[in-house]
A and B are shown apart, each in its own frame.
Chain A
């Protein structure tokens, strides 16, 4: 019951927002998001005290087809639920900063609507419920990215994004339908088939069937993450969307893909995974190097972060597909760390853009003098992204590289370049924007206000928490990742 409340509460708040205006709408949206975070913490406490069984929610959804509305929270889900509920208030606060948005109430409502979709994806334990929420998450982000963007090519960019992701997910749906047709009836059900996650895990399909099923299901995840060469929608969409939408896309939505691989791909078609493992590894590593090299050449801060995100995601995919316990664990920590880092980086880029009206590194420079707080926040986020020890990024990337190295030493070596590359392009960005020769904005720029600083505080706390005590989260996800590997290894 708690899980269902957790998933649907933001939606209810979004509907209520229809009746609120101005400051009341802000208060309602933020209040709902904070309450949602409290509920997530409560769910975490419940989980630690009494295990996942107490968070199971199972309702007959379409009895004649054997489809149940099955939600549940285990360690892996919990990590992502916490990430989502922490980031959404920060994203809403970012949206509050943008006074120029038309019809802001609708914007906040869509962010909360999106949260329902995301939480549904992270807690679904039935294939069609998973697919349902997967698409539910797409509708609000399409409008967030398109309707509030001021870029002239926004229609083409968001259209491309929508079409790419929906085509990917239709392939996944086709795969799920095929799997569903292979299942037997669930215990105590009148329907001939079942779409429960466990029923999918219990299927033992032939290797040749799994080989093509793998691509049907992986298509959706590959586009969402995105993995090279399915990434072409990503840089433009990240760059031209309004800042809060970019944060949702990069901070949370991207994790849907990796989470999907862990929960709905590896254990469902293990033989397919082992057949295509090497190809995916190669694509992931190409993505790492490719994203990094392009990032080095960027002038637009948002675009630079977008390509850096592409590079970092490549490493996460490589870690997942190494099929090593340490790689999977690293992916979990890095999902959290990357979520925090990338939202922090976009927050910085947005703060600078709001003050100066530009994101071009060529126009910026010498900003540190008037903005000590912003510089510090920027630096912390940047160093965590570069994976400096003591930060969350370090733990995640170290574990991931360890996993990739165990898979293949050469792959590990090439993937390790990610750390060097990201140091190159991120420090270059910091140097061009904050240090260096003075620019037109050096004297007029204002530092972070107290309220803005407050948005960075939870992010910075999380960066160090993940860096110093990763055990909190590793401990949560360990049973799940080892269970996944048992299913894969069988």
Chain B
């Protein structure tokens, strides 16, 4: 609870700091807030939110619970925001007038993300999703004078609002069928023999909720907004969108399916499996044919939604064990690698004005550090050993193998396609000669960003070499 309170309070404080008309204080302030909240969140590990003695879980009429599951996933989203923050330096340098608002929206969106991973009641899930989404709609359009950014915001908002409606309708139907929003009561009500006559209503409700959340995590066939929105949104917020939203979305998804809807698995299991196959296929094929690195990452984030959906298939009625573990590890490795990739890409795009592969040419010579970090990130996203991404895939695949071996085989084949397009930036950086239009001057990276990039690469390698210390958590 304390993280939620602090994030909200400091989000508002930060808005007032914006009146100072100096951007200098904002980033250190937000950094300290995030570090503080991240630390406080970790203190709740094994203490169910009562370590400070101020609040006891569950909160708000048992609508929110803090347990190890929520602490783990809150940890990922807070860490992601923390390591992403240094890449907003260009806003500070450019004297962006609305920076305080951006940062506040980020903090508020984290409130939404944390609610999504710790909800115990569908209303809280809905409120969390909305807090997160509305912040994101604004941030997608934050580059006001850029048509692409405006287009992204409008597309995201219109389609997102539509999906929210479907989600809400699904919840209403679920309520109609069971008479409750509480997760555990939902599970009991669905399993109860007395409710069997209401099955059509229940099943339609479940499907609509799956569609609604599927949209938020960009699972095919509800992913069409993703490439355009990701491409138009300023890179800094794209990185946030593709990590925090996805992690929180899947944590919420898994919780919904295994805690509230285990008895409805005959309807959602095949749906999720079909969405998984479609997402993997469209995401990977889509990514393979891109020539813009940013657009490739957008499609790749769709494909990663596919691997995470695969993890949902293995959910076995509890928030621990292989499936939860796999999704946790995968989200963590994916978030870190994605932040690193977008961070490097943003630096390159800002200073070379290119977002395609050719813009990366010669980076291995001019900026060995950036090239190395991007290589590590790409290898991790591709799932090659020595990086966290490999063990993310490994844990998910081994979790699903006993349930459905053919899905795993398909996912392995798709990850071969993934290697093809993740290698292209690496080739561009190290092997390709520079094109005439691409400046070959070193990219200026300040020490704060360099340190962050080194930390991100180191974290990816540590996850890939010593996965043991995080693999038994859930």
Which A residues fall within an 8 A CB radius of B? Answer: 60-65, 102, 128, 131-132, 134-136, 139, 143, 146-147, 154-155, 158-159, 162-163, 166-167, 170-171, 173-174, 177-178, 180-181
Q: Is the CB of B468 within 8 A of A61?
A: yes
Q: Name the one of B401, B423, B468 contacting A62, with C-beta atoms under 8 angstroms.
A: B468
Which B residues fall within an 8 A CB radius of A? Answer: 325, 364-365, 379, 384-386, 390-391, 394-395, 397-398, 401-402, 405, 408-409, 412, 415-416, 419-420, 423, 427, 430-432, 466-468, 471-472
A177 to B411, CA, bound (A): 13
Q: Name the one of A61, A154, A180 contacting B431, with C-beta atoms under 8 angstroms.
A: A154
Q: Is the CB of B408 within 8 A of A136?
A: no
Q: Is the CB of A173 within 8 A of B430?
A: no
Q: Which residues of B contact A143 (CB under 8 A)?
A: 430
A162 to B412, CA, bound (A): 16
Q: Which residues of A contact B384 (CB under 8 A)?
A: 135, 139, 166
Q: Is the CB of A178 within 8 A of B415?
A: no
For the residues of B in contact with A, the DSSP-based class is helix
Q: Is the CB of B402 within 8 A of A181?
A: yes
A-B contact pairs, 21 of them (CB 8 A): A60-B468, A62-B391, A62-B468, A63-B472, A132-B385, A134-B385, A139-B386, A146-B427, A147-B430, A162-B419, A162-B423, A166-B416, A166-B419, A174-B408, A174-B409, A177-B397, A177-B398, A177-B401, A181-B398, A181-B401, A181-B402
Q: Is the CB of A139 within 8 A of B401?
A: no
A62 to B472, CA, bound (A): 8
Q: Which residues of B contact A132 (CB under 8 A)?
A: 385-386
Q: Which residues of A contact B391 (CB under 8 A)?
A: 62
Q: Is the CB of A135 within 8 A of B416?
A: no
Q: Which residues of B contact A159 (CB under 8 A)?
A: 423, 427
Q: Is the CB of B385 within 8 A of A131?
A: yes
For the residues of A in contact with B, the DSSP-based class is helix
Shortest Cβ gap from A7 to chain B (Å): 13
Query: Please, which residue of chain A has its CB at the minimum distance from the CB of B325?
Result: A64
Q: Name the one of A61, A136, A147, A163 contacting B386, with C-beta atoms under 8 angstroms.
A: A136
Q: Name the one of A62, A134, A171 contacting B471, with C-beta atoms under 8 angstroms.
A: A62
Q: Which residues of B contact A131 (CB under 8 A)?
A: 385
Q: Which residues of B contact A180 (CB under 8 A)?
A: 398
Q: Is the CB of B471 within 8 A of A146?
A: no
Question: Given that A63-B472, A65-B471, A155-B431 are contacting pairs, would A136 and B385 also be in contact in the complex, using a CB cutoff of 8 Å?
Answer: yes
Query: Please, which residue of chain A has its CB at the minimum distance from the CB of B393?
Result: A173
Question: How many pairs, one residue from A and one from B, have CB atoms within 8 Å of each other in the complex?
Answer: 74
Q: Which residues of A contact B394 (CB under 8 A)?
A: 128
Q: Is the CB of B431 within 8 A of A178?
A: no
Beyond the given pairs A62-B391, A64-B468, A102-B365, 17 more chain A to chain B contacts, judged by CB atoms under 8 angstroms and listed by A's residue number, are A61-B468, A62-B468, A63-B468, A65-B471, A128-B394, A132-B385, A135-B384, A147-B364, A155-B431, A155-B432, A162-B423, A163-B416, A174-B408, A174-B409, A177-B401, A181-B401, A181-B402
A154 to B468, CA, bound (A): 38
Q: Is the CB of A139 within 8 A of B427?
A: no
- Top 8 closest pairs, chain A to chain B, by CB: A64-B472, A135-B385, A132-B385, A62-B468, A147-B430, A64-B471, A62-B471, A155-B431
Query: Please, which residue of chain A has its CB at the minimum distance from the CB of B398?
Result: A177
A159 to B408, CA, bound (A): 25
Q: Is the CB of B401 within 8 A of A178?
A: yes
Q: Which residues of A contact B364 (CB under 8 A)?
A: 147
Q: Name the one of B379, B395, B416, B431 contacting A170, with C-beta atoms under 8 angstroms.
A: B416
A233 to B431, CA, bound (A): 18
Q: Which residues of A contact B419 (CB under 8 A)?
A: 162-163, 166
Q: Determine which residue in A65, A102, A158 has the highest number of CB atoms from chain B within 10 A of its CB, and name it.
A: A65
A435 to B313, CA, bound (A): 69
Query: Please, which residue of chain A has its CB at the minimum distance from the CB of B465?
Result: A132
Q: Is the CB of A174 within 8 A of B431?
A: no
Query: Please, which residue of chain B has its CB at the minimum distance from the CB of A191?
Result: B472
Query: Please, which residue of chain B has its CB at the minimum distance from the CB of A67?
Result: B468
Q: Which residues of A contact B415 (CB under 8 A)?
A: 170
Q: Which residues of A contact B408 (CB under 8 A)?
A: 174, 177
A147 to B472, CA, bound (A): 39
Shortest Cβ gap from B362 to chain A (Å): 12
A173 to B391, CA, bound (A): 12
Query: Please, which residue of chain A has its CB at the minimum distance from the CB of B413?
Result: A170
A62 to B409, CA, bound (A): 23
A136 to B402, CA, bound (A): 28
A147 to B423, CA, bound (A): 13
Q: Is the CB of B379 within 8 A of A139?
A: yes
A136 to B390, CA, bound (A): 12
Q: Which residues of A contact B397 (CB under 8 A)?
A: 177
Q: Is the CB of A147 within 8 A of B431?
A: yes
Query: Please, which residue of chain A has its CB at the minimum distance from the CB of B427?
Result: A155
A98 to B466, CA, bound (A): 37
